Copies of this chain bind each other. A is one copy, B any other.
Amino acid sequence: MKTSLLLVAHGSRRAASNDEVRNLTQNLAALAGERFHSVDCAFLELAEPLIPDGIEQAIQQGAEAVYILPYFLSAGRHVSQDIPAEAAPKQQQYPQVEIKILPYLGSAEGIVELLLKLSQH
């Protein structure tokens, strides 16, 4: 199955923050290699593409599944409500495409190891 990965960040008025996410997405695509049909990013607000447009682009590029990876640190309203609400109409529009929301970054077990590594700087 052709699965596309969509890294979803909040979006910022500060262009450099959005560019940080875009650079990270390029690195993620490079590391993922052939694992995904495509790897792109989208934003909840304040930057483009917005989530529905990101999903649409992935589907237009042939994705049969779109996995949304929330680049968020806590399970707040954005993760629990806003991102699912942005994705739902696209799921209705394309019932044959599997649109799945993955665990958010802050829930990753490995984050503790990463913080410990940073503390050695």
Contacts and interface: CB of A to CB of B under 8 A. Distances in A.
Contacts of A35: 116, 119
Given A31-B116, A32-B119, A119-B69, A111 B24 contact: yes
Nearest to A26: B112
Interface residues of A, number: 41
A12 interface: yes
Interface stretch (A14-22, A56-64, A89-97): A14-22
A77 B14 CA distance: 9
A7 interface: yes
B76 A115 contact: no
The copy count of this chain in the complex is 2
Given A102-B121, A106-B20, A121-B103, A115 B69 contact: yes
Contacts of A76: 12, 14, 17
A1 interface: no
Nearest to A20: B74
Contacts of A27: 112
